[in-house]
């Protein structure tokens, strides 16, 4: 858990934490796709139960695993271009923001909406 949550000591901050969390998810998907894991599912679920809360049934999880086991080979990563900013709030305390220009937000919105087969929509500055 420390590996997946640590960000203050990481030179990449939140971005480094996100990379580690992605590594963990990919490892879980790889392990879950192996036949040997099926024989150890009791041990795996005991370990997960301490750290994961879900309302999925065992049968639903097996269905998801069987339908999406090959998806780990097709993970697409998008990088959002922006700038790190520390902006003071109303009490004067600096809050970290990752600021993204409207052009970049529009580009990402168009890409995601196209992928989801939704119509184009303009992104406004306040969103």
Structure tokens at 103: 């052009």
Flag whether the pTM goes above 0.85: no
Per-residue pLDDT of the chain (127 residues; tens, 9 = 90+): 666 667 677 777 778 888 888 888 777 766 666 655 556 666 666 776 677 777 878 788 778 777 776 776 777 778 889 998 889 999 999 998 889 999 999 999 999 999 889 988 888 765 4
Contact between 66 and 33 (Cβ < 8 Å): no
Nearest residue to 106 (alpha-carbon basis) of 96, 98, 114: 114
Alpha carbon separation from 91 to 42, 62, 70, 78 (Å, rounded): 51, 50, 49, 35
Quick check: helix, strand or coil at residue 107? helix
């Amino acid at each position: 858990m420390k590996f997946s949550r640590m960000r203050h000591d990481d030179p990449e901050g939140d971005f480094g934490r996100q990379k580690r969390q992605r590594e963990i998810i990919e490892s879980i998907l790889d392990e879950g796709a192996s036949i040997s894991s099926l024989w150890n599912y009791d041990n795996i679920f005991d370990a997960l139960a301490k750290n994961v809360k879900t309302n999925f049934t065992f049968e639903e999880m097996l269905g998801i695993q069987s339908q999406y086991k090959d998806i780990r080979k097709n993970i697409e990563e998008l990088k959002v271009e922006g700038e790190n900013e520390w902006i003071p709030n109303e009490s004067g305390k600096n809050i970290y923001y990752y600021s993204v220009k409207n052009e970049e937000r529009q580009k990402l919105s168009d890409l995601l909406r196209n992928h989801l087969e939704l119509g184009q929509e303009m992104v406004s500055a306040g969103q």
